[in-house]
């Protein structure tokens, strides 16, 4: 009887911790970007609305010296991403990364670019709900680089209490917890969708 009560209490505490963590995660995903210093580089992790445009705007404002757009489709060219009004000098500061297909891939691709360009400070541009996991994976491959988050609020986060938005947030929260525990994104995604 004692062990049953203990197990129930532990399960209740685990559920409470999970729910509290999820509440923090949702609140964090809805926060606007904070202060940004000038940095050596900017990285945009592709995969959602607004990420590339936001990173290009930051580069045009000289918030960073160079820009890596990581995870670009192999058929995409720089001319397709740049606005027609962009000065030619902007294009000279942009690198397209075609290798990454996952967040871990983004981190690996970014680490190579950072080493090649002697980057010591980096603005990270990705969706707000993806930022925590992106920062975690990037910090593992870039231990000596200062990372500054610049989250993009995607359309799904405009109504975070919708069922589809909550599902997206819950899925990303579980992926982030898995990444904290050392479980890679591809294996976790497979487990969650199978």
In this predicted model, what pLDDT tens digit does every residue of 81-101 receive, in sequence order? 888 777 878 889 999 999 999
Average pLDDT over residues 157-179: 86
- Residue 11 covered by a domain: no
Average pLDDT over residues 108-121: 97
pLDDT reported for residue 6: 67
- The pLDDT confidence band at residue 69, using thresholds 50, 70 and 90, is very high
- Residue 27 covered by a domain: no
- Residue 194 covered by a domain: no
- Residue 169 covered by a domain: no
What does the DSSP 8-state code read for residue 162? S
Helix-, strand-, coil-residue percentages of the chain, each rounded to 5: 55, 15, 30
Displacement of CA 26 from its chain's centroid (Å): 14
Q: What is the number of structural domains in the chain?
A: 1
pLDDT reported for residue 175: 92
pLDDT digits (tens, 9 = 90+) for 18-57: 777 777 877 788 888 888 999 999 999 998 889 999 999 9
**CATH at residue 110:** 3.40.50.620
Query: Residue 143's domain spans which residues?
Result: 33-155
- Residue 94 covered by a domain: yes
Assigned token pair, 178: 């898995």
- Residue 47 covered by a domain: yes
- Residue 69 covered by a domain: yes
Kindly report the pTM of this predicted structure: 0.84
- Residue 17 covered by a domain: no
* DSSP string of 34-67, one letter each residue: -----EEEEEEE-SSTTHHHHHHHHHHTTSEEEE
pLDDT at 71 over 70: yes
DSSP strand pairing (64-70 vs 39-45): parallel
Assigned token pair, 88: 């030619």
Contact yes or no for 47/74 (Cβ under 8 A): no
Q: 21 or 117, which is more confident?
A: 117
Average pLDDT over residues 167-183: 88
């Amino acid at each position: 009887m004692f062990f049953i009560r203990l197990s129930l209490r532990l399960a209740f505490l685990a559920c409470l911790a999970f729910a509290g963590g999820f509440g923090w995660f949702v609140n964090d995903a809805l926060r606007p970007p904070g202060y940004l210093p000038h940095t050596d580089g900017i990285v945009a992790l592709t995969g959602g609305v607004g990420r590339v445009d936001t990173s290009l705007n930051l580069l045009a404002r000289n918030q960073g010296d160079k820009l890596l757009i990581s995870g670009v489709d192999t058929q995409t060219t720089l001319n397709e991403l740049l606005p027609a009004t962009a000065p030619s000098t902007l294009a000279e500061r942009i690198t397209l990364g075609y290798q990454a297909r996952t967040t871990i891939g983004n981190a690996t691709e970014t680490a190579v670019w950072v080493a090649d360009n002697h980057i010591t400070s980096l603005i990270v541009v990705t969706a707000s709900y993806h930022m925590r996991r992106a920062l975690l994976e990037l910090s593992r491959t870039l231990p000596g680089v200062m990372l500054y988050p610049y989250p993009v609020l995607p359309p799904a986060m405009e109504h975070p209490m919708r069922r589809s938005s909550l599902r997206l947030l819950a899925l990303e929260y579980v992926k982030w917890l898995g990444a904290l525990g050392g479980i890679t994104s591809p294996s976790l995604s497979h487990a969650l969708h199978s």
